[in-house]
């Protein structure tokens, strides 16, 4: 019984931060129709900025609560600003081109950001553990967990609900939905489509950086973070369905539980299980578990 509970809790913890990353990836694809290879680099950028902020806050003697808030704000601000500059300065020049061209452009951005983070922060691991003990510990019978890990679950739920509400229950969200369904018609109705593109890309980058900042106290921040995260994020959005928030949530839970089960029962099959689930879903549902409805032109 303890093993089953451990797998479930570990899987949900893993799924929580992966969902936030995948949420940004699926949002960018839904609006801009771009498979953003550089998305993992923005996660890593958020983690690096968060770790640096915590290190500076600790040196100044700030309490963990303030360093926690500071690292989230700093990571979100820096990454979204970088994302906005990249979209306005680079990506907008390739809109309307073949999807493969945009894929290669984002891959080039990924390589550039990888080297840039190494240039700024070096290749040695950075630790930012101060906020990790902020919420204490909690026990479930014989199981003990750091409360920080469990806090990621409600944070991810709130993030998903907020994005869903923003897209479906606000005027700005209706405008974004209109651009998703038909950008040309939206432009003819006076919608500033390029502004929507810029906002969507920057917000997707912000979500990736937010997830990176949240996980920074849990891990050693070092080169290679972006590669692992982008692989898992792509697996999640492919399983759930590109452009679907609900699909990203279900895909993240499946991937999280698969990884937790493999770690506890068959560690050598961890990555295999993820690809097995993705392959099984694609065999029966090539569009993913939740296919986004698209407008049909007549």
Residue 95 has pLDDT above 90, yes or no: no
List for the chain the helix, strand, coil content (%; round to 5): 75, 5, 20
The first and second tokens of residue 293, run together, are: 């409805």
Give percent of the chain with pLDDT exceeding 70.
97
H or E element that contains 137: strand 137-140
Q: Give residue 294's pLDDT.
A: 54
Q: How large is the average pLDDT for residues 91-102?
A: 87
The first and second tokens of residue 197, run together, are: 């593109």
CA dihedral of 185, 186, 190, 192, whole degrees rounded to 10: -130
Distance between CA atoms of residues 248 and 176, nearest Å: 19
How is the chain split into domains, by residue range?
11-224
Distance between CA atoms of residues 183 and 32, nearest Å: 10
Q: How many CB atoms lie within 10 A of CB 269?
A: 14
Q: What is the pLDDT of residues 147-163, one digit of tens each?
A: 999 999 999 999 999 99
Helix axes 147-168, 171-181, angle to 10 degrees: 80
Bridge partners (DSSP) listed for residue 143: 140
Residue 244 has pLDDT above 90, yes or no: no
Q: How large is the average pLDDT for residues 53-73?
A: 90
Residue 229 has pLDDT above 80, yes or no: yes
Q: Which of 84-98, 136-150, 220-234, 283-297 has the lowest mean pLDDT?
A: 283-297
Please answer whether residues 274 and 235 qualify as being in contact, where contact means their C-beta atoms are separated by less than 8 angstroms. yes
Q: Give residue 47's pLDDT.
A: 95
Residues in the chain: 298
Q: Give residue 190's pLDDT.
A: 87
Q: Give residue 2's pLDDT.
A: 80
The first and second tokens of residue 110, run together, are: 């990924």
Q: Which of 48-52, 252-256, 262-266 has the lowest mean pLDDT?
A: 262-266
Q: Give residue 293's pLDDT.
A: 56
Q: How large is the average pLDDT for residues 76-97?
A: 90
Q: What is the pLDDT of residues 6-46, one digit of tens each?
A: 899 999 999 999 999 999 999 999 888 888 999 999 999 99
Residue 139 binned pLDDT confidence (cut-offs 50, 70, 90): confident
């Amino acid at each position: 019984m303890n093993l089953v509970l451990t797998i479930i809790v570990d899987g949900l913890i893993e799924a929580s931060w992966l969902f936030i990353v995948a949420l940004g990836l699926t949002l960018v694809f839904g609006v801009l129709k771009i498979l953003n290879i550089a998305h993992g680099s923005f996660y890593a950028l958020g983690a690096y900025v968060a770790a640096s902020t915590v290190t500076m806050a600790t040196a100044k003697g700030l309490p963990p609560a303030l360093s926690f808030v500071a690292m989230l704000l700093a990571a979100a601000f820096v990454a979204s600003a970088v994302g906005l500059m990249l979209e306005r300065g680079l990506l907008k020049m390739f809109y309307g081109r073949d999807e493969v061209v945009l894929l290669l452009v984002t891959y080039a951005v990924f390589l550039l950001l990888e080297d840039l983070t190494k240039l700024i922060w070096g290749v040695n691991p950075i630790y930012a553990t101060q906020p990790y003990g902020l919420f204490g510990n909690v026990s479930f019978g014989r199981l003990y967990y750091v409360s920080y890990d469990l806090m990621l679950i409600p944070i991810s739920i709130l993030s998903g609900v907020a994005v869903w509400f923003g897209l479906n229950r606000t005027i700005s969200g209706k405008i974004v939905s209109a651009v998703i369904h038909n950008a040309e018609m939206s432009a003819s109705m006076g919608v500033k489509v390029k502004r929507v593109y810029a906002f969507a890309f920057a917000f997707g980058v912000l979500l990736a950086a937010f997830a990176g900042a949240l996980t920074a106290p849990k891990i050693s921040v070092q080169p290679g973070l972006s590669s692992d995260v982008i692989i898992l994020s792509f697996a999640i959005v492919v399983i759930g369905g590109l452009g679907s928030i609900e699909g990203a949530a279900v895909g993240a839970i499946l991937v999280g539980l698969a990884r937790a089960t493999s770690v506890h029962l068959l560690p050598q099959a961890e990555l295999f299980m993820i690809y097995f689930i993705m392959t099984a879903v694609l065999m029966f549902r090539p569009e993913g578990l939740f296919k986004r409805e698209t407008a049909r032109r007549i």
